[in-house]
Structure 1
Amino acid sequence: MAKKPQTTGTSLVIVESPAKARTIGRFLGRGFTVEASIGHIRDLPEGAKEVPAEWKKQPWAYLGVNVDADFEPIYIVPKEKAAQVRKLRSLLKSASDLYLATDEDREGEAISWHLCEVLQPKVPIHRLVFHEITAEAIQEALRQPRQIDENLVRAQETRRIVDRLFGYDVSPLLWRKIRPRLSAGRVQSVAVRLIVERERQRMAFRSAAYWDLAAELTTGSGGRFEAQLISVASRRIPSSRDFDATTGELKDPSLLLLDQPQAEQLAARLLRAVPRVVEIEDKPYTTRPYPPFTTSTLQQEANRKFGFTARHTMQLAQSLYENGHITYMRTDSTNLAAAAVQAARDLVAAQYGNEYLSPQPRVYQTKVKNAQEAHEAIRPAGHPFDLPEALRGQLSYDQFRLYDLIWKRTIASQMSDARAHRITITVEADDAVFQVTGKTIEFAGYLRAYVEGADDPEANLAEREIVLPPVQPGESLQWERLEPKGHTTQPPNRYSEASLTRALEEMG
């Protein structure tokens, strides 16, 4: 149980949701009453009818924002929140002090500020901030309470006002010009523009056709591999990126553009030649693990792996957070606390062995603009982290999959690099050059735990390898198959939810 500071009565702790209240209540003993505000208790009015009488006749009343006085917001307590406000006031009457334990982001800070504005407490006020709902985190927050961060409050207020001005002024224009019930917003309008611009690119796109040759070759020892034609008479065969998207023409006229009859004639000619290995290039390379999840990267990966929408991912993450299984899920930081890094490293050693542990703790720098580095990345809560299988019976199917994803990504972030080789075989036949590139994994490293976009890391490792048969420079090969292959350039893909999220993030 959490140790209560020395006071004479009961301390009232206010959080946003009943689920969060129940979880925190388990860690607080006698002397604490935990109650939920059930989200925001105060907001801008929904329309002129909810605006206080003194402002109703103002031309800006429908906005709920006084555009004539530095965009001052007009706040009201919605009818559906009145009963909860009365309950909180009643509890506060018998409290010796007030602890505001709302979320640590802008919205949470604003909820705490609005609670103070509405409840007008006469007792000491403490702001509790924690990244995870665990006994240890609650204890630490009680030892180091702070004041409400006015900068965060103003940041949330500004975003809310901009949302209102955008939505209430631009949306009616959409109703008149396009169709009813459309809405505009600070983020969604930018997203729509990106989607429209991509669609215009697709409409302006002009396709192009080109041909090359696909070969299947066999070695004297019975090995076989496929190779692609890359040049004829020192002229490179084009790929899709060599064509202008708006004209369908080659960007570089020196490339050799083949049509079907030319490709067929070339294949017939080359079948009379003996293909030989002229070069083998073996390049070792390493890849590093991905950083722990931010909100955006979690949404993107859950969409790629499971097909989850961003909304569904956040609903699952909210539930996992409120029940004490993961850290706070709205963050743009890839930073991990020192204790979390150690917990991850301990698990790597225990689950995979010391050879899979990175030599030094890994530290990740966030690349997102305006990131709040004081926050942590999304990771399993507590120390040590609960193993996914230990929670399977407590979680729904989708909750388990998301927790397992977060667990693996966090663990992998402290694992060793993967080492592999990229082997390129170059084959000549008469004046034509073919190439094939294979990959072999020397040491899986972090890939043992986590492969981006794959559900089963072990199975995906096999798929990532392209093993080529052993050959020697100068070795003669045989044609198993040599056939013309036609291609048509494709317009840029429409955005998926994951790719649109990534594009918005990259644009800041």
Structure 2
Amino acid sequence: PFTTSTLQQEANRKLRLSARETMRTAQGLYERGFITYMRTDSVHLSDQAINAARNCVADKYGKEYLSPSARQFSTKARNAQEAHEAIRPAGESFRDPSATGLDGRDLALYELIWKRTVASQMAEARLTMLSVELDVDGGSLGPATFRANGKRIDFPGFFRAYVEGSDDPDAALEGQEVLLPSLKTGDSPSCKEVEALGHQTQPPARYSEAALVKMLEKEGIGRPSTYASIIGTIVDRGYATLQNNALTPSFTAFAVTALLEEHFPDLVDTSFTARMEGTLDEISTGKVQWLPYLESFYKGDQGLETQVQQREGDIDPTASRTIELEGLPCVVRIGRFGAYLETKRVADDGSEELLKATLPNEITPADLDADKAELILKQKAEGPESLGEDPETGDLVYLLFGQYGPYVQRGQVSDENPKPKRASLPKGTKPEDLTLEDALGLLRLPRHLGEHPEGGKIEAGLGRFGPYVVHHKGKGEKDYRSLKAEDDVLMVGLSRAVELLAQPKRGRGGRTALKDLGTPEGADEAIQLFDGPYGLYVKQGKVNASLPEGTTADTITLEQAVELLAAKAAAGKGKGRKGAGTAAKKPAAAKKPAAKKAPATTKTGRLRASAVRIIKAADS
């Protein structure tokens, strides 16, 4: 059954949810009574849960799929806290996922928990594993051996309900059969075709959130309740970026980790936080006194304060923000506004000068090679090379690199043209593949697609959230839809745009509106009905209002929605305002002296540092 850690791992592998999103969704399910408490290290199930799970197995899959006896599990995690049972569907009987009324992430996560809990009480699968070796006389090349491995599922057992995910993208699913042709002793297969396939050893896969949570748990770093905040802060503060569900370290992560490893190696040792957690457990049981421990930690001979005072003078600010990567004709430095390249070049007069060029935020240490670095430096030193001329204006079109990535620009910056037309490259577009035709298309966005069947014009454009289509309905009213991954903003046509605009509009958090109630007279925005974590609610613009008890999606009217939203808006405006009859303001108390600022290195900071170190070690 699921613990907090294994739930985060499986939700990341199967549902592509981050640890933070998993915990937020699980919190909502717990608060509404769908699952038991979601912060636990225990894999123990109560008798009530075991009975409910076994009843589900018998009803849904048949008694032959039941394990012979009730299964109970024991926790193997280090420093496990087992105040609660494993995460499982709540109640004496488990609600079938299809009967919960849930949707979206809520339904997907509940179904994952339901399947895992039910599978824990199912019979074992029975497999037949077959390995075949063919010895071949290769003539002058010598003998050769060909090997094939097969697997046949004789009885699926718990595979009927659940197959665990894997962090290895190339690993076959455990519940998948690999059938070999029928063979018997004495067969002599004939060779129909031989294909030579090359194979290169691949580096270890990057850490996904699931793999990092698994490593943190293995090393005894943190608690289940801290994994989501550790990983969330790593991403929020720019130590790593999430690309295709993999955590990729940034230049900042390289610089910070190198600094800490050189000057504070004990604080980023992965066993440091594990030792601290052990001491905190002893404090909680009364074996160790907390005040002497804190005194020793901060003010002891090797305490944090002492270490900082001893070592801060040894830190060279320039060296600490410098990253040298093998094969680059320059160094990378971390500046106030991000990473940049720096190298020395010989000027026209023969003197040496420093050349600096900003690195786009999207470039990571793994992406930067010598060719890309030389291109960025060359553009900085000599100016960009043009892609060609815009036939309509006669201006040259340039491909440039900025802090927020590559972009195209028509014309040069001058007194007559201080702000030339610019357009960012769509996500996934490689600068080296960009043509003049593509660049001109981007510079001419938004492009008119035609008239909407209900009136008003439709355009396609590129905004801060990516490519989109918009329906101009008149009187300033606009209806937007994002383009899908398969759509090209330069090629999308009118019929596809109308199709996208007809789809329900997604609200914040990716929710899809259940119903569009209409636009009140005199208003610019429509009122829509959504199903959220706490029930049904109506939304207009940025104002939300919950539906009163007894009101359903079928009975709510536009007039009722307007009244609910007006009441909510009025209540929001009145928050924090004092009425005329409030008491006179008390005289200000004497200002207290400012408290001494706590050391910047906190326990959470050390947990993050350990996690960043793990990611960097895997990357290097």
TM-score, reference length from structure 2: 0.33
More helix by share: 1
RCO (CA 8 Å, sep 6+): is it higher in 1 or 2?
A: 1
TM-score, reference length from structure 1: 0.40
